Amino acid sequence: MPTYEYECARCGHTFEKFHSISATPPKRCPECRGKLNRKIGTGAGLLFKGSGFYITDYRSEGYKKASKAEANSGSSSTSSSSTPAKKETKAAASSK
């Protein structure tokens, strides 16, 4: 069910009302009984977090830890594997 925002034409009082689309909207201000105008709402925002997951997605703590461990091991193995190859190349070049 959506949340609608209303504003009184007479006193300027604004409020939100949570009701279904098919429900009759309120006609009078609860403060002064003036005529209400429904304001155009912005709707729900969509926030992105990381690479493709939404902030509203929920992941277990185990998944988060495994993901961090995988990311850390992946970046360190790449850098450590390239270092010995360079040392071997230098050693081979010096022996020739």
29 and 49 belong to one structural domain: no
49 and 35 belong to one structural domain: no
8 and 33 belong to one structural domain: yes
Residues 6 or more apart in contact with residue 17 via CB below 8 angstroms: 3, 4, 5, 6, 25, 26
Express each pLDDT in 66-77 by its tens digit. 888 888 886 554
54 and 33 belong to one structural domain: no
The pLDDT value recorded for residue 95 is 53
Domain housing 61? 45-77
The rounded distance, in Å, linking the Cα atoms of 88 and 78 is: 16
Whether residue 73 is contained in a domain is answered as yes
Express each pLDDT in 2-55 by its tens digit. 888 999 999 999 998 888 889 999 999 999 999 999 988 766 666 666 666 555
- For residue 85, the number of C-alpha atoms closer than 13 Å in the C-beta half-sphere is 6
How many domains does the structure of the chain reveal? 2
CA pseudo-torsion sign 84, 90, 93, 94: negative
Whether residue 86 is contained in a domain is answered as no
50 and 35 belong to one structural domain: no
Supply 85's token pair.
């190859």
Whether residue 96 is contained in a domain is answered as no
